[in-house]
Amino acid sequence: MINLYGRRNSINVQKVSWALCELNLEFKWHDEDGKFGTVNVKNYEQLNPQLIVPTLDHHGNIITQSNGIVRYLYRKYTDVYTVSKAEDIAIAESWMEFQTTDLQLNMTPIFWGLVRNPPEDRDQELIDKNIILLNKKFEIFNNFLRDREYILNNQFGMADIIMGVAFYRYNSLPINRPALTNLELWYEKISSRECFKNNILGTFS
């Protein structure tokens, strides 16, 4: 039995639910109306002492951290780690970390400032500064995609999920964005997938 704990509109939980869907893995979703980043599950701290989401209970094995969970699922249920060059895996994983360490750093203050917080609590200077930095970072990813259909082996995979969820959020923010032709072509393909539609589309809040 596979159990996934976390809110359906959490970016980190969505990475895992999308991956589970793409891998055709049945799971039970626990999203009992917890506040941002939490779930109302009794004794949840015994599953995840950090009290954050997501948490994956994979047949009794407890795994946390969204990108780590996605890597685990693709390592266990696909041959991507055996058929790919180590260098190509490293590039794909670097983009997965880019989402967590770089994109999220700038996206969070924009998201909270423009979406979650009331106008009177906004720090517009902070928001504007992070919009500039975030746009530049997505331009870097756009350049990487110049001669690629997907991130790893020109096949849809784990890194596309991580960066795809990030771009969905970015594309949903009420901000001005630069022209990102390569990225838009890539996003058009991944956003047409049924698992994207069922797990990501319409969840921005």
Structural domain range at position 118: 84-199
In this prediction the pTM is 0.94
- Give the residue from 37, 56, 77 where a domain finishes: 77
Question: Can you tell me the distance from the alpha carbon of 186 to that of 196, in angstroms, rounded to the nearest whole number?
Answer: 13
Question: Which tens digit of pLDDT belongs to each residue from 76-131?
Answer: 999 999 999 999 999 999 999 999 999 999 999 999 999 988 889 999 999 999 99
Q: What is the largest CA-CA distance in the chain?
A: 53
User: Residue 35's pLDDT is what?
Assistant: 56
Does one domain contain both 96 and 185?
A: yes
Instruction: Over range 193-201, report the average pLDDT.
Output: 96
Are 9 and 203 in contact, with CB atoms under 8 Å apart?
Answer: yes
Residue bearing the bigger pLDDT, 37 or 39 = 39
Quick one: 88 and 65 in the same domain?
A: no
Neighbouring-strand partners of residue 57: 3, 62
Average pLDDT of the residues in 140-152: 97
Listed residues 20, 44, 77: the one ending a domain: 77
pLDDT in tens, 20-38: 999 999 999 998 655 555 5
Cα gap 160→166, rounded to integer Å:
10
Task: Give the SS3 label for residue 24.
Answer: coil
160 in the same domain as 98: yes
Q: How far is CA 119 from CA 107, 112, 116, 124, 125, in A?
A: 17, 11, 9, 9, 13
The answer to whether position 205 is within a domain reads no
Instruction: Please tell me the total count of domains within the chain.
Output: 2
Q: Can you give the CATH number for the domain in which 57 is found?
A: 3.40.30.10
Helix (H, G, I), strand (E, B) or coil at 56: strand
